[in-house]
Structure 1
C-alpha cells in the first residue's frame, strides 16, 4: 500500500501558509511596477488586482473545500474538463510555483548582500534552497509550524517599517511624477498601468497554494475558507500600507527596479547607519523566507500530485518512509529553481532584470491557472449540481465572473507587453505536453482507486 500524506494542519497553520506564501510580495517585486506606471498609476493597477484576487479567492475556496486534493487546480480542472484540462491547469500551476522561488531566493541574496557586501547573492540564493528543501523534507508539521512563526514575524516587521518611515512620510513624495513620471494624468499613462499588472499580481501571487495543503488539513471544509478569507484580507491591507509608505518616504524612483525597496526606503528616512535599518534587513528576511519556504511546500505537492496521477514520472510520487513528505518532488523543483538562478543569458531579455522576468514567467502560470479554475467552477456547477459544496462562492455567478474577466484582461495585457516571455511560457507548456503524451500508457492502466495496476488487472 502506498504511503499517503498526513492530516496534521489546523486553521491557524493554514492561515500562516496562506499569508506566508505571498508575504514576500510585500517586500520586493512590486516596485518594478513603479518603473512603468508610477506610484499613482500603479495604485490603480494594484486596486484592480486586489479586487480580482478577492473575488477569485471567494470563488476558488468553493473548489478547494469540495475537492481537497494535493493537486489543487489540477484536480478541479481534471474533474471538469478531463485529463487534458487537468494537464493544462497542473502544468500552469507548476510553472507558477517552480519559477516564484528563484525570484524570492535572489531577493534573499540581495537582502544579505546589504549586510554583507562580500556575499554573492546567487550563492546565498542556492544556500537558501538547500536549507529550506531540507526543512520541508523533515515533515509537514515542522514545516507548517515554522511557516506560521516566520509569517508572524514578517507581518510584525512590515508594521515596524510603516511606523519607522511614517514621521518622514510625505504624500507630496508619493504623488510626484506618479503618473508614469508625470504629475498629472494623461492618456500616455494608460499603457504603463497595464504593463505593471505582473508586479501588482506579485502582491498576491501563490495564495492559492493553500489548496495544495488541503489534503493535509484536519478539517479542510471548515479551516480552508477561514484561512483563505482571513489571508486575502490581511494581504490587501499590508500591500496597500507598504506601497503607500514606501512611496512617500522620498524619491520613489530610486526604489524602482531593485530587489530590496523597503530597506532602501527606510534608508531615505533614518540614514545608512541606523539600527532600524539593520533590524529591517534581518527581520525582512523572514518575509522572504516565509514565502520561499511555503512555495517549496506548494510546488512539491503539485509535482507529487501530478506524478501520483501519472502525469509526471511515478518516480516523483514517492513519500519519504520516515518523514511522510514527497522528498523527490521537493528536490526536483529545487533543481529547476537553482538552474533558473544561473540562467541570466536565457532569462534576462526584453530590457528587464533577471528577477523581473522570472516574476513575469511565474505570473503567466498563475493567470492561466486562474482562468482554467474559474471555468472549472462554472462547469462543475452545471455538470455536478449535487456535489457536496461545504463552502459556496458568494454572489455566484458575479464573483467568479469578476475573477475570470479580470484574469483574461491580465493575460491579454501581459502577452502584449511580454511577448518573448509568453513564447517561453508556451514552450514550457508544449514540453510538458510531450511528457503528458508519453505518460498516457501509465494513466490508461490506472484503477478506480488512482493507483497503477499491473497489466491485465483492469
Structure 2
C-alpha cells in the first residue's frame, strides 16, 4: 500500500485552496468581535493592517519552508527538521487543536445562517458531508473550493458596491479611542481570518513543482484576501459604524439591510453559508494532513498514517478529524472558538518563523518580525482565550514529557 500522496495540484488549485480557507472565515465571523476590541472604525482598519503584516511574514516563512520540505504536515515538519522533534510536535499539537476549533466555528457559521434554530445540527451535517467529499480525493475537493470561492467573491462584490454607495467614507471619520492594546487584540482576532494563507503548505506533498508553486501561491492568495477584507470592512463600517458592528452576529446581512438593500439579505445569508463551507473544507484538509504527518512519526495513533490505495488521501485521518470536529461543533459557541483558535494558530506560526530563521541570514528579518508579531498578538487576545490556549499548549508539553520526548528520526 502506497504511503505517499499524489502530486496533482497546480498553481491555480493552490491559490484557490488558500482563498477558500481565508475568504469567509473573517468576513462573516471575526469582524464583529474585532470591532469590539478595536473600539473604532479606524482602529479596526489599523488592526486589519497589523494582522496582514504578521500574516505576510508568516506566509513567506511558510512558503520558503514548504519549498524546502514539500511533504504533508506544514510547520510540524518544518519545526522537526529545523529545530528538533519537540518543536515540530508542539507545532503539530497547536495546529490540530487550534484548527479543530476553527473547523467547529466554520461549521456553526453554516448552521447560524442556514437554520439558526438548529445551528448545531446543521453544523454536524456540514462536517459529515465535507468529510465525505475530502474522502473521495483532493482534486474533487479543489474543484468544489473553486466553485465556492467564485460564488462568495461575487456576493462580497455586491455587498461592497451596496455598502460603499450608502456609507461613503464614514469609517475614516474620527471617533472612539484608539489604543495599542485594543488594536493588538483586534489584530489577534482578525488573524483567525488570515490563518488559511498557508493551507497549501500543509498539502505540500500533493502540489506539482512545490519549490516554484508554493512560494507563488501563498502571497497571491493572501494579497487577494487582504484586498477583499479591506473593501468589505470599509463598506460595513460605513453603514453600521464600529459600535453596531461589534454587537452584530451577522454583520454583512445587517449592513445590506442598513444600506436599504433588503432584497440582498437572503443572498448574503447564502453567501455566508457557502463561504463557511469553503473554509471548513480547506480546514479539514489541513488538519487531516497534519494528523497524517504526526501519525507517521507515532505522535498520534499510527493507524492514522494510511493513504487510501484508490483515492490517494489519508482517509483514516480524515475520518478521525471529521468525527472530532462533529463532536466539538455539537457543543461549542462560535464566538468563543475564535480566540482559542487564534492562540493555537499563533503558537504554530511562531514556531514556523523560528524555523525560517534557520534558513539563513536573508530570511531572518522577516522571520524575526513574524515571530515577534505572533507573540504580541497571542498575548493580546482576551484573557480567557490566552488562559485556555496556554492550558492546551501546556497539556501538549505534558503529553510529550509523559512519552519521554520520544524523538523520531526525520523522514528522508
TM-score range, shorter chain: over 0.9
- Correspondence list, 1:157-168, <5 A: 157-168=155-166
* Change in 2 beyond 3 A, CA 1:292/1:22: same
Structure 2 runs not aligned, ≥5 long: none
1:16 Cα offset (Å): 0.3
Does the 8 A contact of 1:45 with 1:193 survive in 2?
Answer: yes
Which range moved further: 14-23 or 26-35? Answer: 26-35
Does the 8 A contact of 2:357 with 2:368 survive in 1?
Answer: no
Which range moved further: 79-88 or 325-334? Answer: 325-334
The aligned residue for residue 68 of structure 1 is 70
1:338 Cα offset (Å): 2.6
Cα deviations by residue, 1:180-215 (Å, 9 ceiling, x for unpaired): 5xxxx5xxx443223323222123122112111111
- Correspondent of 2:366 among 376, 399, 402: 399
* Change in 2 beyond 3 A, CA 1:176/1:355: farther
- Correspondence list, 1:335-346, <5 A: 335-344=323-332
> Aligned pair 1:408/2:375, yes or no?
yes
User: RMSD of the alignment, in Å?
Assistant: 2.3
The aligned residue for residue 351 of structure 1 is none
1:315 Cα offset (Å): 1.5
Query: Number of residue pairs matched?
Result: 410
The aligned residue for residue 291 of structure 1 is 279
1:247 Cα offset (Å): 0.6
The aligned residue for residue 317 of structure 2 is 329
The aligned residue for residue 5 of structure 1 is 5
Alignment partners' CA distance in 2, 1:271 and 1:229: 34
Alignment partners' CA distance in 2, 1:95 and 1:62: 24
Does the 8 A contact of 1:246 with 1:252 survive in 2?
Answer: no
The aligned residue for residue 91 of structure 2 is 89
Does the 8 A contact of 2:162 with 2:261 survive in 1?
Answer: no
Cα deviations by residue, 1:85-113 (Å, 9 ceiling, x for unpaired): 11111111212221111111111111113
* Change in 2 beyond 3 A, CA 1:264/1:127: same
Does the 8 A contact of 1:109 with 1:124 survive in 2?
Answer: yes
Alignment partners' CA distance in 1, 2:311 and 2:403: 28
Alignment partners' CA distance in 2, 1:223 and 1:435: 36
- Correspondence list, 1:356-435, <5 A: 356-381=335-360, 396-414=363-381, 417-418=382-383, 420-435=384-399
Task: Say which SS state the counterpart of residue 205 (structure 1) adopts.
Answer: helix
Cα deviations by residue, 1:46-96 (Å, 9 ceiling, x for unpaired): 111111212222232111101111011011110112111111111112122
Task: Say which SS state the counterpart of residue 31 (structure 2) adopts.
Answer: coil
- Correspondence list, 1:42-441, <5 A: 42-113=44-115, 119-172=117-170, 174-175=171-172, 178-180=175-177, 189-272=179-262, 274=263, 276-344=264-332, 354-381=333-360, 396-414=363-381, 417-418=382-383, 420-436=384-400
Task: Say which SS state the counterpart of residue 375 (structure 1) adopts.
Answer: helix
Alignment partners' CA distance in 1, 2:187 and 2:50: 9
1:411 Cα offset (Å): 2.4
Cα deviations by residue, 1:146-177 (Å, 9 ceiling, x for unpaired): 112211221222111111222212333x3567
**TM-score when scaled to structure 2?**
0.92
Task: Say which SS state the counterpart of residue 334 (structure 1) adopts.
Answer: helix
The structure in which a higher percent of residues are helix is: 2
Cα deviations by residue, 1:234-291 (Å, 9 ceiling, x for unpaired): 011111111000110234433324442111111111354x1x2222222332221111
The aligned residue for residue 19 of structure 1 is 19
Which range moved further: 74-83 or 31-40? Answer: 31-40
Q: Structure 1 runs of 4+ off > 3 angstroms? A: 175-178, 430-444
1:319 Cα offset (Å): 1.9
Task: Say which SS state the counterpart of residue 358 (structure 2) adopts.
Answer: helix
Task: Say which SS state the counterpart of residue 99 (structure 1) adopts.
Answer: helix
1:437 Cα offset (Å): 5.1
**TM-score when scaled to structure 1?**
0.83
Structure 1 runs not aligned, ≥5 long: 345-353, 383-394, 451-458
